[in-house]
Amino acid sequence: MYLGASDGLRNVWGDQKPKIAGMSQSQPLHDNLGDYPVITLGGGCFWCTEAVFDRVQGVMDVESGYCNGHVQNPTYEQVCDGNTGHVEVVQLRYDPKTISLRELLEIFFVIHDPTTLNRQGNDVGTQYRSGIYLSLATDRDVAQSVCDQVNQAMQGKVVTEIEMLHNYSSAEDYHQDYFENHPNQGYCAFVVAPKVKKFLQTFSNKVRA
């Protein structure tokens, strides 16, 4: 069962006492969130990262999508073929009064393995690469700082790319809130659920009430 190689980062961010928490209701997609900052993250299958960030306090919206490829509005099948250059990502809108970009990235680096190129566990392909995709160039300093800190903790093995976001499109409707809608599906039960549990235990003070 893959949980990532980032357990050692608990020593970087500090241990948290586990909090007994249920799996919260996913946040619906909204149309009136234009004033909130955006960060887009690639950390393997978007079912996993979406399920985690749905539970983070201060995250106002989570959408699964594709970015940084060369095909306009690709389908899931095209992305999986590995020929579009796209990454499976989650796009977050967040309230900086409640959670900072640095805190979001700390969570991001704990819930996926940033040391495996084009791979997360048994999911292999360029669409699963680790990446931080910026909507604002001014976010680069924070992203680079966190990435450098993680890279030092992991003996220089981090392969996470930091790029400006381009050619983003939302994933098909059936991918949105996938874990919420299919918690007993095999992949969800054996891959997604452990990542959610890891977040709940490591960042108990960041769990949505």
Enzyme catalytic residues = 45
- What is residue 88's three-state secondary structure? strand
Separation CA 169–CA 152 (nearest Å): 33
Separation CA 29–CA 175 (nearest Å): 13
The string over 59-74, giving b where at least 16 C-beta atoms fall within 10 Å of a residue's C-beta and e elsewhere, is bbbbbbbbbbbeeeeb
- What is residue 43's three-state secondary structure? strand
42 within 8 A of 120, measured Cβ to Cβ = no
Bridge pairing between strands 130-134 and 161-164:
parallel
Closest CA to 190 of 199, 201, 179, 200: 179
CA 140 and chain centroid, separation = 17
Q: How are the residues of the chain apportioned to helix, strand and coil, as percentages rounded to the nearest 5?
A: 40, 20, 45
Residue in this structure with the two tokens 């700082």, named with its chain if needed: 145
